[in-house]
Structure 1
């Protein structure tokens, strides 16, 4: 038996709200961890761009996008969440496994270890990528209906 249109819409709305809350929570974990770790990483390059400043940029981006997703939950919000979390995760994994030298204004950031905060951030960013992908699929299906 197929649900009525209003019941289907309520179900999709409830799922969308859950996705938004979970993504905002995961982005807040990303933001808090990066903000907390930033000063220690900036000490390696106190006068330059430094990894600490990149951590601050990630923290600010994750916090702002988390609020945007929570408040709006629009397609552009989810795309930004995917870009911020996916980009952060890609950089984390890149510098965990590949020893890239400094290039341009970017410092060498190779760190071949896993520790609690790095693992927590990786899981939070991966969760946002999955949640954003699910939300974008839900948006696509909702537009078709």
Structure 2
């Protein structure tokens, strides 16, 4: 899960400068990619540090939203969405696939971690007094 988030962070950080040309919105594509990279990196550190249900829920939100955004902007030209620029990109390339795979693995692993952490907590008896 953390590895998938790291892949997400690295790909977004590397391609942030390429998104500076994206038009529309009050947030630049470059800033959007930089924020995604930072959030994914922080989520990876949180998952590695805490490994609890809250960390897994955060990891799912970060990775799942990234998968959703990638697929939305690949398959639909929705134009400018509020402050977000027009990020439509119908072309598949290696880095985009890497990002999708990393985010997808992280999202699925986060769901599994969330479910398993809940089961482990149910089995553990409450501490006495």
Alignment TM-score, normalising by the size of structure 1: 0.80
Larger Rg: 1
Q: Which has the higher helix share?
A: 1
5+ residue gaps, structure 1, are 1-22
Partner residue of 2:127? none
- Aligned match of 2:19: 41
**Unpaired runs of at least 5, structure 2:** 124-129
| Residue of structure 1 equivalent to 2:60 | 82
Q: How many residues align?
A: 123
| CA shift for structure 1 position 122 | 0.3
CA distance in structure 2 between the partners assigned to 1:125 and 1:63 by the alignment: 12
Query: 2:118 and 2:26 mapped to 1: Cα distance?
Result: 43
Across the aligned residues of Structure 1 and Structure 2, the Cα RMSD in angstroms comes to 1.6
Which piece of structure 1 moves more, 96-105 or 56-65?
96-105
Runs of 4+ aligned structure 1 residues displaced above 6 Å come to none
Say which SS state the counterpart of residue 89 (structure 2) adopts. coil
Report the TM-score when normalising by structure 2: 0.90
Question: Secondary structure of 2:3's partner?
Answer: helix
